[in-house]
Structure 1
């Protein structure tokens, strides 16, 4: 291989490129290596490879990267070849790394909960995240198990989505790998759909519509009915902090608006500190406020969606992000966005990481808002064939151009 004057990468080719992998434009790349006297032995990159220590003789060879060479490449991590860091090799290696996650180890296989267990857990959590009877230990345990069922399903679906999206990105950049991965992509897509279907049981459509409507609410102002006298001149500032906490919970979480009141309560308690005088009045005032805010959101939901046609929205689902500080990966989507995709998905293209969602008007408006995490577009707005099925309309949208390795 002719190496250009550029930075180099040290790559254990035998570990990164498994036998049988299509090489595309890298077919025939020239390398030098070491082998024993036999022409059928392993090809090594360095003389001090542990597998060469007992060899009676070692000789240098030149070879072309092809199917037969892949069969012979040493898989020891010490056998590293230099490849140019010119953008082509890193993209290829990243694609191979993403595709390798479609062949999980046995210990990574996960068992889904049964339909009966999911129905019971979803039914219980529809009554609230926590039991009303705080002294009932059995009720606390049942709620904890129900939350674990939901959270485990969510984690499974997030992981499956990530594998599919990153693999799809890799195949877009290196299309010659697609035949090798198609069967596995289909298997994982079926797994993702089953996980999504079960997870959707935990989210109420009306709750999601209410969460979308919160964005349209005006910030409250301090009035005579708001008994925040305990805070003196800081009362307007405290109200703003409480409002932001309630709004963030109501918009970001996929839970009933009553749950958002807990975030507002927490903000109030932090503001109160050790104050005693005026505490009860402030708490009662906050209860009235959060009840009123929730009612305003419900009214806004009806105004935005009731009697109006639904919308077919395409979204680009982002992969999980890896923390630069070694803190693992996290999902950039809010709980509300995750729930909307789970409940309203009608078509998906994992090769491009896109999905079509058939949603009420208010949810559609929120998805299209610039502040959303997912890139989104109304598939029917400028569609020439507006009567086409959702998968066909989704296929016409390319949210971004991804250059392939030449």
Structure 2
């Protein structure tokens, strides 16, 4: 699609719109083109089209866009038709492109696909931390590296499938006449997304998600005489605040066991220490005690938040990845914690609207509904008249854009 002049778009309709595509409001739109004198050949946008060279002659033809003429449109790149740039055509063509991308990839099939035993082994390893305890065990380092790579690959596959489903759903909302035609493709890729979700959920740690949700309830530490930060002098309270914030950020948003957050705090401590030698070992030992204490208190807070409390049915809007401003790299709006929560606790999903229902412990529900969450969320049961309905039915009653629910 290109823009030849103000007010029109130049589009290879024969490539953008496959035969059998419902045309909706574009049905019956008139075009002028060229065809062979036999009147049985293709319809061309320009008389210079290479496909017309073999014809004994050509003539101008006016035709209405319908199922019959659509099947005859030339697919040569030179056959570009001028269509009005009135806002409708770009939306229609974008929707068709998104639906075309619903075709499942073969990337996850074949001999290289990891098995359930491999996923379970990776989950077991990563539940202990991101790296092995024995720094000199090269074989163990290799196993941990493979486990992390497997986790990243499973997430990337699932997230890519999610994005294609979300884009297609947005297109089907904008062009609802396409939905019956696209439903089979949508259902096939949705099934693939569900398989990928289960596989990535198998490597996530639900306890770590509950712990991460409890971080927001924790109070910041204050400097006491037993914290050996004398090396920092008057800056000690500031350094303590920095290592605390680094620990909290990793613990809250990474979706990993709390032991991993200690490395983030240690990294912040080393940045503050710089090349200092005197007092370094004491500061490191003191921080190790602090992070151990913070982890213990966080686990207790997580228990108080959720144990013995009813679970909550939370609806979330799953945002797609986007491009950073000025043509930058792909920007992921969701944290690993948020993605893991969706993977582990999803009980219903509506890809046309990009929404999901999550059945979650109390603490995780509170965190999802908090202002700092990247996903728009609402409690589906609170205030619902038909509160006993299945999650999919309750999810259909909520539309994050304020429109009435799509049937």
TM-score (norm 1): 0.92
Q: Distance in 2 between matches of 1:310 and 1:403?
A: 27
Deviation at 1:401, TM superposition (A): 4.2
Contact conserved, 1:311 with 1:364, CA < 8 A, in 2?
yes
Q: Distance in 1 between matches of 2:351 and 2:212?
A: 27
What is the aligned-residue RMSD (CA, Å)?
A: 2.1
Alignment-derived partner of residue 193 in structure 2 = 192
Contact conserved, 2:314 with 2:377, CA < 8 A, in 1?
yes
Q: Distance in 2 between matches of 1:201 and 1:63?
A: 56
Alignment-derived partner of residue 178 in structure 1 = 179
Task: Tell me the SS of whatever aligns to 2:32.
Answer: strand
Alignment of 1:7-406 (within 5 A): 7-104=7-104, 108=107, 110-111=109-110, 112-401=113-402
Contact conserved, 2:128 with 2:259, CA < 8 A, in 1?
no
Contact conserved, 2:104 with 2:189, CA < 8 A, in 1?
no
Alpha-carbon displacement from aligned partner over 1:82-128 (angstroms, at most 9, x marks no partner): 222222111111111110011256x5564542222222222222222
Alpha-carbon displacement from aligned partner over 1:215-257 (angstroms, at most 9, x marks no partner): 1222223332332222233323322222221111111101011
Q: Distance in 2 between matches of 1:11 and 1:243?
A: 56
**Compared CA separation, residues 386 and 36, structure 1 to 2 (3 A):** same
Contact conserved, 2:172 with 2:179, CA < 8 A, in 1?
yes
Q: Distance in 2 between matches of 1:196 and 1:114?
A: 14
Contact conserved, 2:128 with 2:257, CA < 8 A, in 1?
no
Alpha-carbon displacement from aligned partner over 1:297-345 (angstroms, at most 9, x marks no partner): 1122122112111111111111121344545534321000011011111
Q: Distance in 2 between matches of 1:380 and 1:20?
A: 42
Contact conserved, 1:173 with 1:402, CA < 8 A, in 2?
no
Alpha-carbon displacement from aligned partner over 1:271-321 (angstroms, at most 9, x marks no partner): 211111121122122212222221221122122112111111111111121
Task: Tell me the SS of whatever aligns to 1:198.
Answer: helix
Q: Distance in 2 between matches of 1:212 and 1:194?
A: 26
Alpha-carbon displacement from aligned partner over 1:360-394 (angstroms, at most 9, x marks no partner): 11000000011111111001101101111111111
Q: Which runs of 5+ in 1 are unaligned?
A: none
Contact conserved, 2:212 with 2:255, CA < 8 A, in 1?
yes
**More relative contact order in 1 or in 2 (CA 8 Å, sep 6+)?**
1
Q: Distance in 2 between matches of 1:87 and 1:100?
A: 20
**Compared CA separation, residues 299 and 52, structure 1 to 2 (3 A):** same
Contact conserved, 1:253 with 1:334, CA < 8 A, in 2?
yes
**Compared CA separation, residues 268 and 50, structure 1 to 2 (3 A):** farther
Contact conserved, 2:103 with 2:189, CA < 8 A, in 1?
no
Alpha-carbon displacement from aligned partner over 1:130-181 (angstroms, at most 9, x marks no partner): 2222222221222222222222111111111111111111111111111211
Task: Tell me the SS of whatever aligns to 1:142.
Answer: helix
**Compared CA separation, residues 233 and 52, structure 1 to 2 (3 A):** farther
> Structure 1 stretch 134-143 or stretch 13-22: which is displaced more?
134-143
Task: Tell me the SS of whatever aligns to 1:355.
Answer: strand
> Structure 1 stretch 145-154 or stretch 373-382: which is displaced more?
145-154
Deviation at 1:398, TM superposition (A): 1.2
**Compared CA separation, residues 241 and 52, structure 1 to 2 (3 A):** farther
TM-score (norm 2): 0.92
